[in-house]
Amino acid sequence: MSRKPLIAGNWKMNNTKTETIKFLDSFLPKAKGLSVDIVICPPFTNLFAAAEKLEGTDVKLGAQNMHWEDKGAFTGEVSPVMLKEIPCDYVIIGHSERRQYFAETDETVNKKIKSALQHDLLPIVCVGESLDQREEGITMSWIMSQVENALKDIPSQELEKIVFAYEPIWAIGTGKTASASDAQEVISAIRKKIAELYCSDTAEKVRILYGGSVKPENIKELMQEADIDGALVGGASLKPDSFYALCTFNL
């Protein structure tokens, strides 16, 4: 089973509208005809401007979060209907920064995934352990419960649309990457878990990314692992040159 690699740039709270346009003017002309799927996830305020620039290109647009309801009294939130109208293709769900600073739980992550799927948005679902959890030796059980809770009541025909991202919290923005073999170990366990919850055919179709200090210098080694299907990249996705280098790791 060959899964198409996916490189997603999570800009977090970086880049203004002007900077977004500048980035895309520099990046898009080079990014034609690449053999990987590319997704850029700018802040909400830049999604419309980015969508205009991305029209007619192969680069997809993603949001960094959403509410699960279509509309209502949720001050400061953005709904899947609003994202779809932009149009966004993807949405990051359950990033560790959302879980840590904005009280997202496995339960809200599950609600958001179901809502994204209903609205035809492709969820990039983040899971990952803290340094304490890794040192305690509970990485696997923690990640497997995050995966199982994320997928609660989600039917197997929807699984192909879900992308997982394994992002060890201690590797995010720290310059410390999990070794390729450590990342492979967790990611292959996630695939086994999906096979156990659904079936191996389904599990073989789901793309699972690694995230956490991915850079042009380490992406090749990570991508050589059998189960790592791409990367969710923060810092190194902010500059057109390094993001382009990441998207061309296989050239």
Q: Residue 223 interacts with ligand PGA (CB under 6 A)?
A: no
The DSSP letter of residue 227 is T
Residue 211 touches ligand PGA, criterion: CB under 6 A: yes
Question: Which of residues 165 and 203 has its CB atom nearest to ligand PGA in the complex?
Answer: 165
Q: Which is nearer to ligand PGA, 187 or 198 (CB)?
A: 187
Q: Least distance (Å) from ligand PGA to the CB of residue 102? A: 14
Q: How many residues does the chain have?
A: 251
Give the CB-nearest residue to ligand PGA: 234
235 contributes a contact to ligand PGA by CB under 6 A = yes
100 counts as binding ligand PGA under rule CB under 6 A: no
Q: Crossing angle for the helix pair 180-197 and 139-150, nearest 10 degrees?
A: 40
DSSP 8-59: EEE--S---HHHHHHHHHHHTTT-TT-SSEEEEE--GGGHHHHHHHHTTSS-
Please name which of 30, 29, 91 lies closest in space to residue 60, comparing C-alpha atoms: 91
User: How far, in Å, CA of 76 to CA of 44, rounded?
Assistant: 11
Question: Rounded CA gap, 38 and 51, in Å?
Answer: 14
Among 121, 143, 233, 247, binds ligand PGA (CB under 6 A): 233
The verdict on 129 binding ligand PGA (CB under 6 A) reads: no
CA angle 251, 37, 246 (to 5 degrees): 45
Catalytic residue set: 95, 167
Q: Using CB under 6 A, which of 162, 213, 219, 243 touches ligand PGA?
A: 213
Closer to ligand PGA by Cβ: residue 63 or 214:
214
Q: Which is nearer to ligand PGA, 37 or 167 (CB)?
A: 167
- Whole-angstrom distance, CA of residue 201 vs CA of residue 114: 21
Q: Which of 4, 85, 173, 220 binds ligand PGA (CB under 6 A)?
A: 173
Segment interacting with ligand PGA (CB under 6 A) among 22-30, 142-150, 155-163, 211-219:
211-219
Identity of the amino acid at 247: C
Interacting residues toward ligand PGA by CB under 6 A: 10, 167, 172-173, 211-214, 232-236
